[in-house]
C-alpha cells in the first residue's frame, strides 16, 4: 500500500482546508465588489443574513469606508468587536427564533430610510432563511418554527423548504428588494444550494419568486403536511394569488452576483489532491437525495474505481434525512455511516463527508471519516452500524471511533463535500 494512503486523515484535512480557502467569504467579496459599484450612490446601506455574514460585512465595510451610512446583519453568532454604523443581530438556525424577527424588523426600519439615488448592498449566504424573518400578517414566530421543523424532518429538499418559507415572509422572495425601493440594490450572494438558484439561496430576499403557488401547495401534499402545519400557515398559502408579482414586486434596479459556490470549493480540493500525490477529479456539484443512499452511491463509485493507483474523487451537493429513529446525527454523518457499511473490508478505500459550514445537523461535528476498517473497528466495540443507521444515530457511532470531523463554524457555507481516496 502506498505510504500516501496511510495518511488519509491528514490528507482529508488538507483537502478540506483547500476547499474552504477557495470559498473564503471575504476574499469572494473583494473579488466581486469594488469602488466602481458605489461611485454614483448618494448613500450606501448594507443589509444581509447568513453564516458568512460577518466576513462578508467586514470586507464590504473595508471597501466602503466612510461611505457606509448604516447596516443591519443577521448572523448565528455576532462578532465580539463592535463596528461603526453596523448592527449585528443573532438570529436562529436552522429554525428561526426571536432574534430572527428582531433582525427582520430592524432591517425593515433601515430600508424605510432609503431614497432614490441610494444603494443597498445585500450580503446573502446560507442560513439566511432562518436567521432573518419578518412574517406575513397573521403569522406568528411559533407558526414559522413549527413549519420549519416539520419541513426539516419530512425529508424535503432545500428547494422545497424555501419554496414554502418564501411565501410566509415579507423579506423572502424579493421582499427585501421591494422594501428597499426606490434605492438601487446590489446582492452579493454565496450559494449553499444545489444548482445555485438565486431565488432559493436564503429564500431569495433580493430575487422574485420563481416557483408558483401551485408548487408550494403540491409540496404540502407530497409530504402529507396538512395535519402538521399550523392552520394560519395553510391559510396563508391558500390565500396567495397566482400572480406572484403582485405579492412580491421588485424595484427597477436590482443586480445579483453569485460570488462563491460548491463547484469552486470542490475544484480547489481536487487540485490540492494532485499536490498530495493523488490524481484528482471533481465529478459533480449536484448530488442530492437521502443521505444514506448518497453515501452508498459514493461508496460504490469508489469501489468501482479502486485498484488503479492513487486517485481522489470529489463530489458536492446537499442531501436530506428523513427522520426514522430517535438518534443524533446529521446528513453528512449519516451518509458516511451508510458508506462505511458499503466499503467494509476494503483496505484500499477511505472517504470523508463534511458540511462546509462546519455544522452537520444538531451536533458539534461537521461530518465523519470512513475506511474499509470502520465496521471492523466498530465491531470490536460492540457497535452494530446498521442499528445506528436505522436509528439516525451516526454521531455516537463515529464519536466512539474517534472519526468525527469537528471544525466548529467555518464562517462560510457552500453545501457539502464528499472526498474519496482509492489506491
Residue-wise pLDDT tens digits, 200-213? 999 999 999 888 88
Which long-range contacts link 162-165 to residues 24+ away (Cβ below 8 Å)? Answer: 162/129, 162/193, 162/200, 162/202, 162/203, 162/204, 163/200, 163/211, 163/215, 163/216, 163/219, 164/216, 164/219, 164/220, 164/237, 165/129, 165/203
**Maximum C-alpha span of the chain:** 69
Mean pLDDT, range 198-227, rounded to an integer:
93
Mean pLDDT, range 412-419, rounded to an integer:
97
Q: What domains lie within the chain, and their CATH numbers?
A: 5-20+263-422 (3.40.1480.10), 25-260 (3.40.50.10180)
Contact predicate 375/401, CB 8 Å = no
Mean pLDDT, range 268-297, rounded to an integer:
97
CA distance 58 to 81: 11
Mean pLDDT, range 329-346, rounded to an integer:
98
**CA-wise closest residue to 406 among 371, 340, 358, 346:** 358
**CA-wise closest residue to 240 among 178, 166, 293, 150:** 166
For residue 252, name the pLDDT band (cuts at 50, 70, 90).
low
pTM: 0.89
For residue 248, name the pLDDT band (cuts at 50, 70, 90).
very low
> In this predicted structure, what is the pLDDT of residue 246?
42
Mean pLDDT, range 172-191, rounded to an integer:
97
Mean pLDDT, range 85-110, rounded to an integer:
97
> In this predicted structure, what is the pLDDT of residue 209?
85
> In this predicted structure, what is the pLDDT of residue 1?
52
CA distance 100 to 96: 6
Q: How many helices (H) and strands (E) does the chain have?
A: 17, 12
Residue 212 Cα to chain centre, angstroms: 23
Contact predicate 281/313, CB 8 Å = yes
In the predicted structure, residue 313 carries a pLDDT above the cut 70 = yes
Angle in degrees, 0-180, between the axes of helices 141-153 and 231-239, rounded to the nearest 10? 90
> In this predicted structure, what is the pLDDT of residue 247?
47
- Residue-wise pLDDT tens digits, 350-387: 999 999 999 999 999 999 999 999 999 999 999 999 99
**CA end-to-end span of the chain:** 8
In the predicted structure, residue 315 carries a pLDDT above the cut 60 = yes
Q: What is the dihedral of CA 401, 404, 408, 413, to 10 degrees?
A: -170
Average pLDDT, the chain: 94
Report residue 395 as a C-alpha cell. 454521531
- Residue-wise pLDDT tens digits, 143-173: 999 999 999 999 899 999 999 999 999 999 9
Neighbours of 345 (CB within 10 A): 9
> In this predicted structure, what is the pLDDT of residue 309?
94
What are the backbone angles phi and psi of residue 411, rounded to the nearest 5°?
Answer: 85, 5
Burial class (CB in 10 A: 0-12, 13-18, 19+), 305: middle
Q: Minimum mean pLDDT among 112-121, 203-212, 300-309: which range? A: 203-212
For residue 240, name the pLDDT band (cuts at 50, 70, 90).
low
In the predicted structure, residue 107 carries a pLDDT above the cut 90 = yes
Contact predicate 413/358, CB 8 Å = no
Beta pairing partners, 279: 311
Which carries the bigger pLDDT value, residue 191 or residue 239?
191
Report residue 130 as a C-alpha cell. 432562518
Amino acid at each position: 500500500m502506498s505510504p500516501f494512503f496511510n495518511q488519509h486523515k491528514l490528507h482529508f484535512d488538507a483537502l478540506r482546508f483547500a476547499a474552504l480557502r477557495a470559498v473564503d467569504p471575504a476574499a469572494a467579496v473583494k473579488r466581486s465588489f469594488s469602488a466602481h459599484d458605489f461611485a454614483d450612490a448618494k448613500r450606501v446601506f448594507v443589509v444581509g443574513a447568513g453564516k458568512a455574514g460577518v466576513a462578508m460585512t467586514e470586507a464590504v465595510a473595508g471597501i466602503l469606508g466612510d461611505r457606509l451610512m448604516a447596516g443591519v446583519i443577521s448572523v448565528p453568532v455576532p462578532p465580539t468587536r463592535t463596528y461603526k454604523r453596523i448592527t449585528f443581530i443573532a438570529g436562529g438556525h436552522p429554525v428561526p427564533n426571536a432574534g430572527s424577527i428582531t433582525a427582520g424588523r430592524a432591517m425593515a426600519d433601515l430600508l424605510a430610510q432609503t431614497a432614490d439615488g441610494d444603494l443597498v448592498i445585500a450580503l446573502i449566504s446560507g442560513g439566511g432563511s432562518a436567521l432573518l424573518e419578518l412574517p406575513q400578517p397573521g403569522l406568528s414566530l411559533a407558526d414559522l418554527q413549527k413549519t420549519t421543523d416539520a419541513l426539516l424532518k419530512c425529508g424535503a429538499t432545500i428547494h422545497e423548504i424555501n419554496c414554502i418559507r418564501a411565501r410566509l415572509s415579507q423579506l423572502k422572495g424579493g421582499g427585501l428588494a421591494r422594501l428597499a425601493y426606490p434605492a438601487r440594490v446590489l446582492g452579493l450572494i454565496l450559494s449553499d444550494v444545489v444548482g445555485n438558484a438565486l431565488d432559493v439561496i436564503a429564500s431569495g430576499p433580493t430575487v422574485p419568486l420563481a416557483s408558483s403557488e401551485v408548487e408550494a401547495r403540491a409540496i404540502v401534499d407530497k409530504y402529507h403536511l396538512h395535519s402538521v402545519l399550523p392552520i394560519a400557515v395553510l391559510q396563508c398559502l391558500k390565500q396567495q394569488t397566482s400572480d406572484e408579482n403582485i405579492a412580491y414586486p421588485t424595484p427597477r434596479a436590482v443586480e445579483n452576483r453569485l460570488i462563491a459556490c460548491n463547484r469552486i470549493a470542490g475544484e480547489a480540493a481536487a487540485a490540492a489532491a494532485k499536490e498530495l500525490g493523488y490524481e484528482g477529479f471533481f465529478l459533480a456539484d449536484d448530488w442530492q437525495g437521502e443521505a444514506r443512499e448518497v453515501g452508498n452511491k459514493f461508496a460504490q463509485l469508489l469501489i468501482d474505481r479502486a485498484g488503479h493507483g492513487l486517485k481522489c474523487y470529489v463530489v458536492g451537493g446537499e442531501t436530506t434525512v428523513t427522520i426514522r429513529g430517535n438518534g443524533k446525527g446529521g446528513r453528512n454523518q449519516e451518509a458516511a455511516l451508510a458508506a462505511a457499511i458499503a466499503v467494509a473490508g476494503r483496505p484500499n478505500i477511505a472517504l470523508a463527508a463534511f458540511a462546509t459550514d462546519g455544522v452537520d445537523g444538531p451536533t458539534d461535528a461537521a461530518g465523519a471519516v470512513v475506511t474499509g476498517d470502520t465496521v471492523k473497528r466498530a465491531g470490536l466495540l460492540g457497535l452494530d452500524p446498521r442499528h445506528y443507521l436505522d436509528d439516525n444515530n451516526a454521531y455516537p457511532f463515529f464519536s466512539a471511533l474517534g472519526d468525527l470531523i469537528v471544525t466548529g463554524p467555518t464562517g462560510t457555507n457552500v453545501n457539502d463535500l464528499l472526498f474519496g481516496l482509492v489506491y
